[in-house]
Amino acid sequence: MSNTAERIELDEALSVDNNKAVPLLKRDMSLVKHVMVELTVDVGTAEMSVDALFALKTGDVVTLLQQVNEPMTLRLDGKAVARGSLVAVGDNFGIQIGDIL
């Protein structure tokens, strides 16, 4: 664990013309298109002992194993469906899709 952390600047998300996007599925999705799903983004992982875990306190920094420039994984129901870059969207985080898996 390190007590120093550096701020990173995230690129602002670029707008994309979705009219030119290639559909993921070329099927009639009218029966399920209204169904809401939850996506999660894996930013990174860390390994530490249980002792180190219980010693964490406010302000501590947990160093992730992934590098800042590595792609993030987008998961649907625990299964990887895409990879992309972390971006800033106003005051929120977003993921700009780079690869559909």
What is the average pLDDT score of the chain? 82
CA torsion, ordered 37, 92, 47, 7, to nearest 10 deg: 170
Do 82 and 65 meet the contact criterion of CB atoms below 8 Å apart? no
- pLDDT interval class at 47 (50, 70, 90): very high
User: Taking residues 93-98, what's their average pLDDT?
Assistant: 90
Check residue 101 and give its pLDDT.
87
Stated pTM of the model = 0.60
* Residue 23 in this model has a pLDDT that exceeds 60: no
Do 69 and 51 meet the contact criterion of CB atoms below 8 Å apart? no
Q: Tell me if residue 3 falls in helix, strand or coil.
A: coil
* Residue 7 in this model has a pLDDT that exceeds 80: no
